[in-house]
Copies of this chain bind each other. A is one copy, B any other.
Amino acid sequence: MDDVILLDFWVSVFGQRVRIALAEKGVHYENREENPQNKTPLLLEMNPVHKKIPVLIHQGKPVCESNIIVQYIDEVWHDDKSPSLLPSDPYLRAQARFWADFVDKKVYEAGKKIWMTEGEEDRQVAKKELIEVLKVLEGQLGEKPYLVGESFGLADIALIPFSVWFHAFGKMTMNMNIERECPKLAAWVNRCMEREAVSKSLPHPHKIYEFDQKKKKGHE
Contact = CB atoms under 8 A, between A and B. Distances in A.
B72 A93 contact: yes
A94 interface: yes
Contacts of A69: 94
Interface stretch (A97-105, A167-175, A212-220): A97-105
Nearest to A99: B49
A72 B94 contact: yes
B90 A72 contact: yes
Interface in A59-100: 61, 63-65, 68-69, 71-72, 75-76, 90-91, 93-94, 97-98
Interface in A81-140: 90-91, 93-94, 97-98, 101-102, 136
Contacts of A102: 49
Chain multiplicity (copies): 2
B90 A68 contact: no
A61 B92 CA distance: 11
Nearest to A77: B90
Q: Which secondary structure dominates where chain A touches chain B?
A: helix
A58 B136 CA distance: 23
Contacts of A61: 91
B98 A76 contact: no
Contact of A72 (B75, B76, B91, B101): B91
A148 to B, nearest CB: 12
A204 to B, nearest CB: 31
Contacts of A49: 102, 136
A75 B63 contact: no
Contact of A97 (B71, B76, B93): B71
Nearest to A58: B91
Interface of A: 49, 58, 61, 63-65, 68-69, 71-72, 75-76, 90-91, 93-94, 97-98, 101-102, 136
